[in-house]
Structure 1
Amino acid sequence: MSAAGQIDAGAAVWAEYNALVQKARSRMLARPEAVHARVRDQAEYALVAMQAGCHHFHALHRPDYPAFYRQTIWSPYEAPWGGPSSDMVYAWAFIDGRRTYRIHGRRGTTRFSDLQLFNGYFEREDMRGLGNLDFDTLQTGPDGSFSFIASAQRPAGYAGDWLPLDPTEPVIYAQLRDTWWDWAGERGIDIHIECLDPAGDAMVLPTSVTHERLLRSGHLLERTVARAMGYANMNRKLAGGQNNAFGLVRGSGATDHGASGRAGYGGMVWDIEPGEALVITLDEPQARYWSFQLVDWWWMTLDFSYHQSGLNGFQAERDPDGRISMVLSLEDPGIANWLDPIGTPTGLVQMRWYDGTVADAPVVEKIALADVVARLPGARRVNPAQRSADVAARAKASLARWGY
């Protein structure tokens, strides 16, 4: 093909990609919830953040030169698309199931770390989990150091830890969840990866490969938007078609949509006005880890560093009777367990728990904001100065997990 022909072909690919972006934007802004200015603002930003993330998933990876990326995909507040947990520092590596890799590092002191493999991420209708590794099962040295091989076949004579890969998948998505409980008091995992048998110098991609990846990125964007809106509808359905009520998806072991087979999930669509509050009450989950967090309509986790938009089982304070009560309101209710929606009148609450059970869905009661203190007489009071100090400490601990 002539140079002019290549340019024309490239223009057609970019036009197709831009059409996918515009289709996603139109679909987002057509949602009834986009009548709220704050929700529209979130939609426009989410579209940009999703594009950045989708490019890192599909356009920019190099399986022959892998690394565990953190900030480039689900950074704390810049691009938290897909509803990532505020407690999990995620890292992603992109590997080839036909190659052999050595993964090594040092365990941290977080609640748990696991590595889950997928054959794609939402852009594939046949997305499925390819395996899961709990770092608790690895052989480690006295200092917590570990090393294992990931490959299609166990290397001859190798007796160490081994993670099998699917040789029919040339791009495998390896997702690390390093799950923090006490943000200020724990140390994260140190992890590295190297390809032991690279195909050759594949750093410069042919134009045809770049174009194919660009379109996959566009389709991931399209499907992510569709899934985000479907997630809200699913939460309503699980709650009997209501807003301000929880439904539960107990751990099913399913991994075909990015979920962990170790986890159970709950969700709620919130819808409140100024001067209103939702009191969320539950028995403490009997689980290794549990948390609540707020996400917007586009599946973007609300900022959890500079705002208390989520609480886990270490951070949440208990009622005198041992139960957990939290308050979701646009204004600060003056109690410790506030879920701050950052001025967003409607969105989604995500509940997660790992390695355990939840007896019943949380109970939600809408009351006047002025009645919160009387409704929760045993809750610790927090004045504005205390809240500012608490949030400053939270931000410092949160961002340090990401190396900021």
Structure 2
Amino acid sequence: MSSQTSQKVQDAEAWTDFCDLLKKAGDVILREDLDTSLFDRGEGLRYLSRLLRAGLFSFMENPGPTNPVLRPMPEGVRMGLDNPDNYYVSASVNPKLEYRIRGKRETIHYLSFAAQNQNFAARDKITGGAGHLNDSELKLDDEGYFEIHVSQKEKPGNWLRMTEHTRQILVRQTFLDRNKEKPIDAEIECLSSDGPPPPLDPDRVPGSLMGSAMYAIGCAQWFADWVMEFLQIAPLNHFHLPDPEKHRVMGGDPNVRMWLGMWKLEEDEALVIDVTPPKCHYWNFQLANIWAESFDYEHRQVHVNSGHAIYRPDGSLRLIVSHESAGPDEQDSNWIDTAGHDHGVMALRWVRTQAHPKPEVRLVKIEQVRAGLD
């Protein structure tokens, strides 16, 4: 590193540079095309603080690609229409190195591994997912254990392909029932490294701080741009089915297809969604705020999945989105709470299916639902 970099640490100018850059993150909150209220902007500022925590976690506290650890995001960090049924863990990697993931399958309903390039600190270089491996492809031993080789060069057995752009291994684990299922127990190791992480290098601190700020800025802008595309493709309170390549670049699992839309409700209105789910491994519906953060699924009923929904005899179902429950008790499983929001984004996702039936959506008065809507 240069003497200039060392001097930025010595006189703490690196911190000033970090704070100056971080100020730009607030620009996304002021975007006029998002039509944000005071409530939205309050959530937006909280969102930025969460993204900064994620950035600091990734750039300052990360042991690095030679000593990777599969870890969840910091508590409360949500982004990109994160699935309330999912448990995400990830590790940083260097595509020039080789890795091995070992673990036990356990009972989680759906499991997938992805070699990602989702470095929001460098938005222009994001290429999305490369290799993917899901539980239907995973070879297990008689006791349910597995071993995955992670590299650019193909390996026998379970192999997760990296490209020159890969920077992260992301593990998605989807619960059908959180009270009954157990996530995998897994660890990752770098096969090209030996020994503990080295002591902190002061000359790397300025870059790590700037990377943390750029992560928050880039992530906020990336998903705000994505959300604004929704209205360009489909009207308010309607769905569109994104192009698979767009889904891949956004970092999506190729086994998952999502109907996406933007919703808005007055206090006396409800969104009625009728759909017949296709034959699939799993589906769910969720709401999120204008920043594409999932709602408080620990305390409110803000999503529903294929294991908990109430179906009609013909296999179809009706979902009701409203500010308060509008139906009898037996229909409450299909009611989605807006959690104090009057607008945001919504997603209906299928896992492992070839059919993508479009949901029928109607905006009605809440009293029509209570009176027994056809």
Name 1:385's counterpart in structure 2: none
Aligned to 1:338: 335
Whole-angstrom CA distance in 2 between matches of 1:26 and 1:42? 14
TM-aligned CA distance change 1:116 to 1:9, over 3 Å: farther
2:274 is aligned with 1:277: no
Determine if the alignment matches structure 1 residue 162 to structure 2 residue 159: yes
Q: Distance in 2 between matches of 1:52 and 1:134?
A: 29
- In 2, distance between residues paired with 1:322 and 1:2? 67
- 1:352 corresponds to 2:349: yes
CA distance in 2, matches of 1:3, 1:54: 21
**What is the number of residues matched between the two proteins?**
365
Deviation of the 1:371 alpha carbon: 1.8
Is 1:268 matched up with 2:261?
yes
**TM-superposition CA deviations, 1:336-357 (whole Å, max 9, x none):** 1111121111111022222214
What is the correspondence of 1:294-309 to structure 2 with a 5 Å cutoff?
Answer: 294-309=287-302
- 2-structure distance, mates of 1:161, 1:333: 49
Aligned residue for 1:356, secondary structure, equals coil
- In 2: Cα distance, 1:246 partner to 1:60 partner: 39
Question: Are 2:148 and 2:158, in contact at CA under 8 Å, matched by a contact in 1?
Answer: yes
Q: Distance in 2 between matches of 1:52 and 1:205?
A: 19
1:52-91 pair list within 5 angstroms: 52-61=53-62, 62-70=64-72, 72-73=73-74, 75=75, 78-91=76-89
Q: Which residue of 2 aligns with 1:141?
A: 141
Cα distance, 1:210–1:288 mapped onto 2, change above 3 Å: same
Judging changes above 3 Å, is the alpha-carbon distance between structure 1 residues 3 and 51 closer, same or farther for their aligned structure 2 residues? closer
Aligned to 1:210: 205
Structure 2 distance, partners of 1:318, 1:252, is 32
Structure 2: segments with no counterpart, 5+ residues: none
Q: Does 1:316 align with 2:309?
A: yes
Between the two proteins, what is the percent identity of the paired residues? Answer: 24
Q: Which moved more, 1:130-139 or 1:46-55?
A: 130-139
What is the 5 A alignment of 1:100-249? 100-124=98-122, 125-128=124-127, 129-153=129-153, 160-166=157-163, 168=164, 172-198=167-193, 201-239=196-234, 242-249=235-242
Residue 333 of structure 1 aligns with an amino acid whose one-letter code is: A
AA partner of residue 149 (structure 2): I
Deviation per CA, 1:295-320, whole angstroms, max 9, x where unpaired? 11112111112111111111221134
RMSD of aligned Cα (Å): 2.6
Q: Shift of residue 100 of structure 1?
A: 3.1
Conservation of the 8 A alpha-carbon contact between 1:274 and 1:331? no
What SS is found at the alignment partner of 2:280? strand
Secondary structure of 2:226 counterpart: helix
8 A Cα contact 2:227 2:290, kept in partner: yes
8 Å contact kept, 1:108–1:190: yes
Shift in Å at residue 206 of structure 1? 1.7
- Once the two structures are TM-superposed, the CA of residue 258 in structure 1 deviates from its matched residue by 1.2
Distance in 2 of aligned mates of 1:10 and 1:341: 45
Identify the residue that residue 95 of structure 1 maps to in structure 2: 93
**Secondary structure of 1:297 counterpart:** coil
SS of the aligned residue for 1:249 comes to coil
Note closer, same or farther for the CA distance 1:211–1:43 as it changes in structure 2 (3 Å cut).
Answer: same
Query: Which letter does structure 2 place at the counterpart of 1:261?
Result: P
**Secondary structure at the residue paired with 1:176?**
strand
1:325 is aligned to 318
Q: What is the distance in 2 between the residues matched to 1:67 and 1:8?
A: 31
CA shift in 2, pair 1:246/1:9, >3 Å: farther
**How far, CA to CA, are the matches of 1:35 and 1:196 in structure 2?**
48
Cα deviations by residue, 1:320-378 (Å, 9 ceiling, x for unpaired)? 4421211111122233111112111111102222221444421221111122133447x
Conserved? CA contact 2:67–2:196, under 8 Å: no
C-alpha distance in 2 between matches for 1:213 and 1:359: 43
Structure-2 change in CA distance of 1:164 and 1:282 (3 Å): closer
What TM-score results when the alignment is normalised by the length of structure 1? 0.82
Letter in 2 for 1:346: H
The structural deviation recorded for 1:173 is 0.4
Paired residue secondary structure (2:120) = coil
SS for the counterpart of 2:259 is strand
Whole-angstrom CA distance in 2 between matches of 1:259 and 1:20: 29
Q: Is the 2:25–2:216 contact (alpha carbons within 8 Å) kept by the matching residues of 1?
A: yes
Following superposition, the deviation at residue 47 of structure 1 comes to: 1.0
Deviations 1:116-156 (A, max 9, x none): 0123433331222231122332321222111233234468x
CA contact (8 A) 1:33 1:346 kept: no
Superimposed CA distance per residue, residues 266-320 of structure 1 (whole angstroms, 9 cap, x where no aligned partner): 1111111112111111121332222111111112111112111111111221134
Gaps in structure 1 of 5+ consecutive residues:
378-404
